[in-house]
Structure 1
Amino acid sequence: MTHIDYYFSVLSPFTYLAGTRLEEIAAKHGAEITYRPFDIMAAFPRTGGALPKDRHKSRLEYRMQELKRQRAKVDMPINFRPAHWPTNAAPASYAIIAAQNAGGGDLGALTHSILRACWAEEKDIAEDDVIREALSGAGFDPGLVESGLLTGAETYGANLERAVDSGVFGAPFYITDQDERFWGQDRLEDLDLHLAGKI
């Protein structure tokens, strides 16, 4: 079975704009996904990038133009300047890790629900009640928000190290078991073609 390591940040608008297309592509090709939320703010300076607040004006302007274009392509609601951004990404990331370990629900739906809460619903995804609602809606025990914190923290940190070691420098980032790397939600079509053996 083909395997995809999915590196993402719950703070990333481009990860939000990916929607559930990764899950649809994986299902189409019978691929398995390992969800690896990581601290993208810590990764940027380690991989040649800069924190958003430290970027040149030209990069920030381009980012906004690109967000508007990408949003229009997928016709998804988005607040380009959400009320609770940036926020602490760790609690939601820990919950996704705990849910992956527990199984029994829809991990793609959980991840997208958390991203949508931040980027379209003006919710603070660092708050337990917001995370509980996302867990429950995706078929997981909402109590996962309070359990597995140590494992979540350890895995979250390990995901960052693995991301840096694997060549990840942004989000979303997809790596197949053949070490084919795809950066950005706008490369999902390429991932689809790769899994089909066309590129």
Structure 2
Amino acid sequence: MSCQADYYVSLNSPWTHLGGARLMGVAKRYGASVRIYPIDTGEVFPASGGLPLHKRSPQRQAYRLQDLARWRDVLGIPINLKPKHFPANEATAAHCVLVVRETIGDPRAIDLAHRILKALWEEEADTGDRETLVRLISEIGLDGTSILERAGEPRWAALRSKETQAAIDRGVFGVPTYAVGETIFWGQDRLDFLERQMAVDR
């Protein structure tokens, strides 16, 4: 039986964007399934001692930009280090991902999450804007208008809140986090370790 990786993301995270394609490549190589959770880091950070970006020290903020530039260049992913619409209001986008996950399945939900991240970090799109979300959903071949309408149902906010708390309880403290069983891998720079775990579990 193939293993399952639980994939905890923020739709504002450049690190999630930088690791997205590589994660799916690893999963494909080992026949693993991936379950996506678009959690609320506004809840995760204070529960785990973390700070949102704007509250971090100048030294940490400066280092983050240096590290993003390094990974951008190594991976050949043309991200904007300071995108125009960052941080976007990600709640509606997260609810759309949940709608797709629960009604269509994880693969298309992951496609949507990755499309949203690409739009924010490479295309200067406002991914908190409803018209933009309709366009992005439509671009991956789904009904953007219908999914956005369904995303307004209160149950998706409740589900996201529940899954965020479950992530905190599991030990998740940042994004992206990949979890296989009891083992947690934090950050796109830990994908090599995730691959080793999948090789053992397959």
- Band of TM-score, shorter chain: over 0.9
Instruction: Tell me the residue number matched to 1:193.
Output: 196
Shift of 1:146: 1.0
Shift of 1:73: 1.4
Shift of 1:61: 1.4
Instruction: Tell me the residue number matched to 1:91.
Output: 92
Q: What SS does the corresponding residue of 1:4 show, helix, strand or coil?
A: strand
Instruction: Tell me the residue number matched to 1:157.
Output: 161
Shift of 1:158: 1.2
Cα distance in structure 2, aligned partners of 1:140 and 1:150: 21
Q: Which runs of 5+ in 1 are unaligned?
A: none
* Larger mean Cα displacement after TM superposition, 127-136 or 77-86: 127-136
Shift of 1:138: 2.0
Shift of 1:56: 1.0
Q: Deviations over 1:2-26 (max 9, x none)?
A: 1111101001111111132212211
Shift of 1:43: 1.3
Aligned residues: 197
- The alignment's TM-score, normalised by the length of structure 2, stands at 0.92
- The alignment's TM-score, normalised by the length of structure 1, stands at 0.93
* Larger mean Cα displacement after TM superposition, 75-84 or 103-112: 103-112
Shift of 1:107: 2.7
Q: What SS does the corresponding residue of 1:139 show, helix, strand or coil?
A: coil
1:170 matched to 2:174: yes
Match for residue 134 of structure 1 among 133, 136, 140: 136
Q: Which runs of 5+ in 2 are unaligned?
A: none
Q: Which has the higher helix share?
A: 2
Where do 4+ consecutive residues of structure 1 move more than 3 Å? none
Cα distance in structure 2, aligned partners of 1:133 and 1:20: 21
Aligned counterparts, 1:99-114, within 5 A = 99-103=100-104, 106-114=108-116
Q: Is the 8 A contact 2:98 2:156 kept in 1?
A: yes
Q: What SS does the corresponding residue of 1:195 show, helix, strand or coil?
A: helix
Match for residue 147 of structure 2 among 144, 149, 163: 144
Shift of 1:94: 0.4
Q: Is the 8 A contact 1:110 1:137 kept in 2?
A: no
Q: What SS does the corresponding residue of 1:34 show, helix, strand or coil?
A: strand
Cα distance in structure 2, aligned partners of 1:40 and 1:162: 13
1:2 matched to 2:6: no
Q: Is the 8 A contact 1:173 1:181 kept in 2?
A: yes
Q: Deviations over 1:132-184 (max 9, x none)?
A: 2222222322110110432221111112101110111111000012x111011
Q: What SS does the corresponding residue of 2:200 show, helix, strand or coil?
A: coil
| CA RMSD, 1 decimal | 1.5
Cα distance in structure 2, aligned partners of 1:152 and 1:27: 29
Q: Which amino acid aligns with 1:110?
A: L
1:15 matched to 2:4: no
Q: Which amino acid aligns with 1:73?
A: V
